[in-house]
Structures are given as C-alpha cells and as structure tokens.
Structure 1
Amino acid sequence: MTVTRSVPPFAAGPVSAVAGVVAVVLTVLSGRYGYHRDELYFLVAGQKLDWGYIDQPPLTPLLARVSTEVFGNTPMGLRVVATVASAVTVVVVALLAREFGSSARGQVVAAVCAAISGFLLGVGHMVSTATFDLLAWMLIVLFAVKLLRTGDGRWWLALGLTAGVALENKYLVVLPVAALLLALLIAGPRHVLRSWWLLAGVVLAGLIALPNVVWQFQHDWPQLTVAGGISSDDGTENRIMFVPLQILQLGPLLVPVWIAGFRRLWRLTWPRSVALAYPLLCVGVLAVGGKSYYALPLLYVLMAAGAEPTLAWLTRHRALATTAAVFTAATSALFTLPVLPTSAVDFVLPVNKEQGEQIGWPELTATVAAAVPIGEPITILTGNYGQAGALRRYGPAHNLPLAYSPHMSFADWEHPPDTPTTPVLLIQLERSPALESNFPNCRLLTTFTSPVANTEQNTTLLRCDPPTTPWSTLWPTLRRFY
C-alpha cells in the first residue's frame, strides 16, 4: 500500500533570489578570458548540426548554436545557456530538499550549498556537456523521488522524457538511471517497478534517444572508441583521484552536509534507494575508470537531503557557518571562475586546468598568421580540435585559410582537397615523427608561447612540402579519436 507524503510549501522567493545571484555572477564573469577549447569545438559543431558526432550526441552543439545565434558569437553570448541551466539547477536542488521534507529555510540552505559549490560554478561558467548533464541528473532524481514519495507511476513518463533528452546530450546518464534501478531492487520500494508506466517511460526515452543511437550505429559506434581511449589513457589516475577530486570539486566544507543527507535518507526508509544509488554509481564509475565528476551530481542530491539537519546546526553556530559559507564561495570562485588576472592564472592550474584552456587562442592564431607569408597558398593542419576551432573562429580576421584537423569530428567535416597541392603548415603540441613522415622536408618555423602554462604551451609550427599521397587517401590514416 502506498502512502502519499505531503511536502512543505516551496520557498519560491528566497530560492529564486539565490539562483538569481548565481546568474548575475556568472553573467558578469562570462566575458573574461575567452572561449574554452571545447567551446571552440562546439561552435563549429553547431554550424554542422547532425544527429551525432564522433564523441557526443547533438544537444550541446545545438544549444551552442542557439545561444550564439540569439546573443552573439562571443564568450558571453555563448554562455547564456550555461548560466540559465546552472541557475535552474540551483532551483531543482531546493525542490529536491522540499521533497525530502525540508522547511522553507532548509530549502534555502540547499540552494545556497549548491550555489557556492565549485562544480556547479565551474560548469555554469562555460558551455560543456557536463553543464546540461548536471541539470538533467537533478531533474531525473527529482522525478524519481516524486515517484517514491507519491507512488504515482505517471512520474515514470517525466523521468523517461528527461532521460531521453539527457541521452541526446551524453550517454553518461545511463549510469545514474542504472544505479537508481539497482538500488530500488536492493532497497525498495519494489512496487514502483511493477507498473506499465515504467515501460512507457522506457519507450519514451528510447524514442527520443533513437536518432543518435541510429547515427552511432551507422558510424560503427565511434563514441565507444572515444570512451575506451579515455579509460585506457586516464583510468588509473581517475581511480586514484576519485575520492579526493570529488571532495575538492564540490567543496571540502560541504562534506558534512552530504554525509548528513545520506544518513537522513537511510533513516527515512522510503528514499533509502536514493542514498544507496550514490555508492553503487561510484562502484560503476571506478570499474570503468571514469572521471570523478561522473558521480558528482548525486552528491547534490545527498546535499539537498542534508540541508534540513544542517539547518539545526547552523542556528547554533551562525558565525562559524557564515564563515564556512563565505570561505567555500570564495575558494570555489577562485578556482573555477575567471576572477584572477591572466598573469596569475598559473596559480590555479594545478587544481583546475580548465581555467588555462580559456586563454591564449587569439595569440595562437596571431602566431599562425605571422608564420604564413601573405598571399601564399598553404594548407593548415592542426593536431587537435581546440587549435582547429580557434583558427576557424579567429582566422578570418587574419585572412587565414580554412584550418583542418583529423581530431574527433573535424575528421568527418572536411579534409584538404587533393588539388591543388600546397605546402602544409603543421601545428602540433609535440613533434611527431610518425605524422611528419607523411610530409617531406618539414622544418620548424616557430614555437608558440602561451600567456599561461596551459596545454598549448610550446606548440610547434612546421612548414612541410605537400604530402606525396593524395589527401583523400591519407586522411583516414590520420584520424584521431582521443
């Protein structure tokens, strides 16, 4: 027998105010530094809309296209969608706290904890698949919790709809869904699984995700190749740093909040499966060598559950709590947002290398332009999608020709024409004898010095003779999936 549990009123005003502050902060800072390397990739992908790409489904490039078409092709214009998604995420975290029985003040505590957390601010600052993944996961769990609280099987439809859309953003969403289903089988209540609404939700999710699944099938599942390469390259490091990075990425002083949330959900019994889903998800991510942030969104769920017990502690230690909140907000902003001058960014790179990935792209383009004699036909071949994206974005202002890359989906979009043959400007992070062997008489022109110690530091520019093999024949051998 299902017992419908009532929930407190929603603290719409205060929670919206917290979300509004997040939106204002992200907007004010959104134009600093510049595009991230992934954003440069999304800009090009958004101009070449398809049902799929080598390394991802189509939703994030589509949102990048919409945002730049409406608000302009600038970092600030691109990031409007990320800002909105993160502000809405703050609201959804508060709604989750409400589902767990938190009072209005407890809901505000949940919203504030989300708002000052490093991960939310980091993914909210720029457009990434993780930005929309976080919001999708919060909505999926919100609908799952409503299902458990009310026993109304129709929530499976909302869950399926959200999961389907999330699958068009990133396949990673299958992990929390699988963890939730396994947790339900272990901890219950199992009666919610005995419903035709569950089947309807699965069908709905499948129909929404089907176009990208078909695209992946038609292209021999390249996303699995990409995922396998990431796991083989970084799997051991990901496992070693899994716990420390989760603590750092959310915020060390927020650990007691989500621990209190886990204990509270376990004691409430009816949402016990939600608590169990987190360790189950961690086991799955560790098994495949995934990154620490793959499991991080469920900590926001535990944090929402821990808001009410945390509130009782806050009332007894207000000065200490205020200090902790200010410290967490300040450190989160320092390490995830562009608050430092570029000359000081090297300080935060050991903790968050993504800061450096937003700096130096116009300078790299200028270096390339200086290496190309005016009016000389040349083929520009870049080693990664960040370089190619930067030259596509900033190159026209320098009258540079179209830049090509065999990296990720750039390999599918264009390759150099077989005729006419022109010299090659080869741009590499590191010298590669295997790659250079395809181009006779390569000589070093210059080495790029980035303003910060980021990935592109010491990128080499070489001038080579045209390849002896036609580009159409050579191109498939140059493809890189990771």
Structure 2
Amino acid sequence: MQTEIGSGKEARTETLVLIGIALAVMLIHLLTNGRYGFHRDEFQFLSDARHLDWGFVAYPPFTPFVERLGLQLFGVSMVGLRLFSVIAQALAILVTGLMARELGGGRLAQVTSALAVATSGLPVFEGTEFQYSSFDYLWWVLIAYCVIRLLKTEDPRWWLAIGVFVGMGLMTKYSILFFIAGILGGMVLSSARRHFASGWFWGGFVVALMIFAPNFFWQARHGFISVDFLRQIHARDVRIGRANGFVKDQFVICVNLATAPIWIAGVVYFLRSERYRMLGWMYLIPFVLFFVGKGRGYYLAAAYPMLLAMGAVVWERKVAGLTRVWRRVVLVAGFTAMTAYGVFIYAVLVPLALDGPLKQFALKNNGDLREEFGWNELVQAVAGIRDSLPAEQRSNVGVVVGNYGEEGAVEILGPAYKLPMPISATNSAWLRGYPAVPPSTLIVVGYSREAADRAFTSCRLAGHNGDSEGVKNEESQGHPDIFVCGSPRLPWPEFWKEFQNYG
C-alpha cells in the first residue's frame, strides 16, 4: 500500500512538472503574441470565420470555426485569437511527457521529451500564430498517445478515441491522411494487425467518418474543389523550391537539433519492440510518402513527439547505468545542448523584442514575422485613395485584392475606415462571388501594372501600400502599388470565371 501511495504521489508530482513546462511556454507566447501584427494566413482564417461553412477551398472547417469562437470571445485581438494555438501546443507538450510515462519512463524521460517539444522549431512557431497546423499537430500527438494506450493495455475501446481524433484531424488538415496511412500500414506490418478483426476498430472507423462526413459532402457539392487546390499549390511549392531540403528540415525545423540521437533511438526501439512496432511504422510510412511525394519539410513534424517519448525512455535507462560522474556529465551536456538550440529557436521565431538587435535578428531570419508588417498601413492607404476620389466615384467604388492577406486585411480592418467588402477571387472568396451591383470604380491592390491593365480598364497609379518600418515582405516588394481602375475588360460573369485564383 505504501508503494502504491508513493507512486501515486510521484505521478502527480511528475504531472505537475509537465504542466509547469507547458504553462511556461504558454506564458512566453501570451507575453509576446500581441506584438507586430496579424500574419497573412491569419487574415484568411479571420475572413473565412465570418463566412462559416462545412468546408473551404484551402482547408476543412475546424480552424475557421475556432477563429469565429475567438472573434466572439475576444474581438479582433491577436493575443486572444492566438490563445487557441497556444493552448494546443501546451497540450502537445503535456501529452508528449505523458506518452513517455506510458512507455515506462520516469521523471527524467518525461521532462526530457516535454522539453524537447517545447524547444523544437515547428511547435514553437505554432504558438506564435493562429494556424490550422497548430491543431493538426495536436491531433497527431493525441492519436499517438491513444495508440500507445491501446497497445499497452490491450483495451480495444481506445479505437473509439483514435477515431474521434482522426475525425477531428480530417476536419482540420487533409495531410493527416498520410498519418492514417501510417496507422493502417503499421497495423499490417506489426502484430497490431489482429485489431482488424475487432469491432472496436471498425467502430472507431465509423466515428471518424461521421465526424468528417459534413466536410466530405461539402466537397462533393463543390466538385471536390480542394483536390484541385491542393494539386496546384503542391505543384507551385515544388516549382519554387519549398519542397527542397526535406531531410534537413526533419532535424532543424521539426525537432530540436540536439535531440536527434533521442528521436532516432525512438524509431529504432519502436521497430525493435514487439508490442509497439506499429508506432515505428506510423513514422516511417508518412516519412517515405512525404519524401517521395515532395512534401514540405514541416509536414511530418507532429510525428516526432512519440519518437521523442520513446527515445527519452531509452536515454533515461542508458543514463541510469552510468557511473555518477558520467551520468552528471551526460545530463549536463544533453540539457545544455537542448537549451542552447531552444534559445536560438525562440530568438528566431518568437517576437521577443519590440525593437533593437533581437528584433532585427528575428526579422532577418524569419520570413513569417516579416509578413506581419504593413497591413494597417495598407488599409489606411486604400481608405485614403477612396477619400481622394470624386464624389460620383466614391458612391460606387469597390476594392479588388490579389491575395487572401489583402482580402482579410480589408475585410477585418477596413470597417474602421468604412471600406466596402473586398472583391477577391482567391480560394473560398471566389465561391462567395462578386457584389450583386458591381462597382464601376475599382481600387486595385496586389497587382502589377501589367496585370492591372490586362484585367481592368483605365488604370492609373494612385498610391502605395506603405510600410512605416520599411520591412521587406511580399506586400512591400512584390506588389507595392495601388491603382484606381474602371470596370473589368470582360463582362463581370465572364471576368469572374477567368478570375479564380488559388493561393
């Protein structure tokens, strides 16, 4: 009885330590997430959150739904809206430590695996912005935890929980299909294949399908438009080199570089384990599919927490067999290297400073932070151009935008200047169409002079999308000019068919 009580107290203490690590990461993000501005991608989620549906061209409906909830609770608040991403990453850190515990790890293994996730590039980034990949990361981690519980306890009812999280993953980001392939392939290639005969497995399968069904039917009604979107976006990414360096990214983006020996050990020991071999294949199969299919490097990041959990258990056992002196040397060296890389990652990815060398270092090395600048100035410039027009033009003016960042910025920030809803043909905005009474005067944002002249009549340069801090990003460098134009060269219905764009 004393042993059970002691172990219970120890488990509670270990859980509190894991919660402390997760809360510390949350605090860092909460203190810094109000700096700079919204990212281009966040504006797309904000726009789609105002037009809820069971599906969107670029992604399933879960993330816009959460964003809509955030708007209701916090209004247009960066800290408030990003809170959901922060919570998702804190939970991923906590669950990683719990995975290590389920695999037989003590406090060292649990803390090591949790800290490894807390100092890895992709998880840190996911706490700085509101992205669908933040929730996708959490679903992968929760699925891995449930699989570990399934294999450890031999309780097939865990398939229902797996089905719930697979369904939520399908409602968040379609790339979870690769992880599903890993789950099914891992079952076939391990003793877990016996679960194909379990009614609980098929029950979990049905649960996942029921959760995903609304989005599937939405896709069917829209001709599976997201398939076309994903095909074109993937071709673009490969063409411009975003899929390059996949293997390198597994070490420097997906996970803390200093923990490479730990997660590699995790792969090896999963594959050597009769009970847990399925989890090794759950990593290797998506890895091969992404590598062969030229996926972007960060797509596999959410598979690493389970590897870190197992690897940390192995590391803990190896360290325990060392002499006291060598144990101390290994632990100090390991945690020092992990911390050093973690400090570097936070300096690059998190807006730690409002000004000075640290801010400049982050902006130099982090293109996503650079995309958070200039949106207010862009909307102000559009409003200023609108106000400069003759009265007869102001009465029937529209704002045409070239990408979803400009669309969201004008839609979310524009009401303060009484700007009309933007006219956008990017992703789901194209499905929503153009105004019932098309405007005769257009303020055109996000186009080169040549592109504006090809699409519209009587274009003239009217202003620039100023960036007061001079940050070089897509808006300030790619298309800084704003034009005033007449109607499209084609009738609106024909123009709209030609106008559709994926981004």
Match of 1:446 in 2: 463
Give the aligned partner of residue 272 of structure 2: 267
Give the match for residue 367 of structure 1.
Answer: 381
How much has 1:468 moved relative to structure 2?
4.5
Letter in 1 for 2:401: T
Q: Write the distance in 1 (CA, Å) between the matches of 2:207 and 2:226.
A: 23
Q: Does 1:49 align with 2:79?
A: no
Q: Does residue 330 in structure 1 map to residue 347 in structure 2?
A: no
Q: Give the Cα separation in 2 of the matches to 1:343 and 1:478.
A: 43
More deviation in 462-471 or 132-141? 462-471
Deviation at 1:171, TM superposition (A): 1.5
For 1:457, the aligned partner's letter is: S
Which residue of structure 2 lines up, in the alignment, with residue 426 of structure 1? 444
2:186 to 183, 186, 196: 183
Amino acid at match of 2:305: Y
1:53-87 Cα offsets, whole Å, 9 max, x none, are: 11111100010111221123210111111111111
* Off by >6 Å, runs of 4+ in structure 1: none
| Worse overlay, 80-89 or 7-16 | 7-16
What amino acid maps onto 2:463 in structure 1?
T
**Which residue of 213, 218, 221 maps to 2:221?**
218
Give percent identity, aligned residues only: 29
Please provide the CA RMSD for this pair: 2.2
Q: Tell me, yes or no, if the aligned pair for 1:346 and 1:356 is still in contact at 8 Å.
A: no
User: Who is 2:416 aligned against?
Assistant: 397
After superposing the two structures, state which structure 1 stretch, 60-69 or 236-245, moved more: 236-245
Matches within 5 A, 1:69-468: 69-235=72-238, 237-249=241-253, 250-311=255-316, 312-313=318-319, 315-341=328-354, 347-348=361-362, 351-374=365-388, 376-377=394-395, 378-419=397-438, 421-433=439-451, 436-450=453-467, 451-458=470-477, 459=479, 460-468=481-489
1:220-243: CA deviation from partner (whole Å, max 9, x where unpaired): 111111110122112263443101
Q: Report the Cα offset of residue 19 of structure 1.
A: 0.8
8 Å CA contact 2:348, 2:361 repeated in 1:
no
CA displacement at 1:326 relative to structure 2: 2.4
Q: What is the alpha-carbon distance in structure 1 between the residues aligned to residue 363 and residue 433 of structure 2?
A: 33
- Name the SS of the counterpart of 1:461 in structure 2: strand
Question: SS of the counterpart of 2:443?
Answer: strand
Unaligned stretches of 5+ residues in structure 1: 1-5
Q: Is 1:475 aligned to 2:480, yes or no?
A: no
Instruction: Determine the structure 2 residue equivalent to 1:3.
Output: none
Residue identity opposite 1:404 in structure 2: I
More deviation in 222-231 or 146-155?
A: 146-155
Q: How many equivalent residue pairs?
A: 475
Q: Is the 8 A contact 2:233 2:502 kept in 1?
A: no
Q: TM-score, length-normalised on structure 2?
A: 0.89
CA distance in 1 between partners of 2:233 and 2:494 (Å): 27
CA distance in 2, matches of 1:363, 1:300: 40
Query: After superposition, what is the alpha-carbon deviation per residue over 1:355-400, rounded to whole angstroms, capped at 9, x for unaligned?
Result: 1122221121122223223452421100001001011122122232
Distance 1:67 1:315, change over 3 A: farther
Equivalents in 2 of 1:64, 1:328: separation in Å? 32
Match of 1:78, as an amino acid? L
Q: Give the drift of 1:52.
A: 0.5
Cα distance between partner residues in 2 of 1:478 and 1:356: 28
What runs of 5+ residues in structure 2 fail to find an aligned partner? 1-6, 320-326
Mean CA deviation greater in 64-73 or 410-419: 410-419
Contact 2:430 2:500 in 1 (8 A): yes
